[in-house]
């Protein structure tokens, strides 16, 4: 079995969303999955399940970056939109030739689902099978990303690209000034989180 990261999530308060709200959120998850596809050779295989639940995979070194990307993908779709994510790193197999995870199995998939099921009520990012450095970083990332506005989440997802885009490139993409990008990244803690991503990936 290959070593990979599995992310299992559900949408917070999905039953209270207005018509079309859940579809909008899954569009945001699709955007995050598309971003992941540009970072790595491992296809994310984003799979929707049980209406408001989802699962995806990524190369193990990108686990922290991927969790942030999927949360950003959801939060950028609307005020108050959020997802819980249970993360696990370990052995797992994506079976078959399809694009989803219907036949995937392995300890990492079991542990990811368990991390979601056992998550504290107020938490949004959690793991019970990951290196100590990632287990230590995740609660802090949860706290920081819980405050992202829609605009900050948009900037966060773009900032998480590999290689890291310059502030000038982001300013051109969003058609704002470099100073605006700097301010948004600073107030949202994005640059610090990207530094943690790089440390976990290369440390």
Domains and CATH numbers, the chain: 3-202 (3.30.70)
What's residue 84's pLDDT? 98
Q: How confident is the model at residue 27 (pLDDT cuts 50, 70, 90)?
A: very high
Average pLDDT, the chain: 95
How far, rounded to the nearest angstrom, does the alpha carbon of residue 92 sit from its chain's CA centroid? 19
Closest CA to 157 of 115, 188, 116: 188
What's residue 102's pLDDT? 87
Tens digits of residue pLDDT in 121-157: 999 999 999 999 999 999 999 999 999 999 999 999 9
What's residue 99's pLDDT? 76
Q: How confident is the model at residue 1 (pLDDT cuts 50, 70, 90)?
A: low
Cα gap 183→177, rounded to integer Å: 10
Cα gap 138→5, rounded to integer Å: 14
The residue-averaged pLDDT of 64-83 equals 98
91, 1 Cβ separation under 8 angstroms: yes
């Amino acid at each position: 079995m290959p070593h990979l990261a599995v992310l299992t999530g559900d949408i917070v308060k999905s039953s209270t969303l207005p018509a079309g709200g859940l579809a909008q959120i899954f569009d945001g998850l699709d955007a995050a999955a598309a971003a992941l596809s540009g970072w790595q050779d491992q296809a994310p295989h984003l799979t929707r399940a049980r209406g408001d639940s989802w699962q995806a995979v990524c190369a193990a070194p990108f686990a922290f970056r991927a969790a942030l990307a999927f949360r950003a993908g959801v939060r950028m779709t609307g005020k108050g939109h959020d997802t819980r994510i249970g993360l696990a790193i370990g052995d797992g197999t994506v079976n078959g030739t399809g694009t989803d995870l219907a036949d995937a199995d392995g300890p990492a998939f079991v542990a990811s689902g368990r991390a979601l099921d056992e998550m504290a009520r107020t938490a949004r990012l959690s793991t019970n099978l990951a290196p100590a450095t990632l287990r230590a970083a995740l609660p802090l990332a949860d706290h920081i990303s819980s405050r992202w506005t829609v605009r900050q989440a948009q900037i966060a997802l773009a900032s998480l690209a590999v290689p890291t885009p310059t502030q000038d490139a982001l300013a051109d993409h969003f058609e704002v000034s470099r100073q605006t990008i700097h301010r948004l990244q600073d107030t949202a803690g994005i640059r610090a989180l990207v530094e943690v991503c790089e440390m976990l990936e290369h440390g």
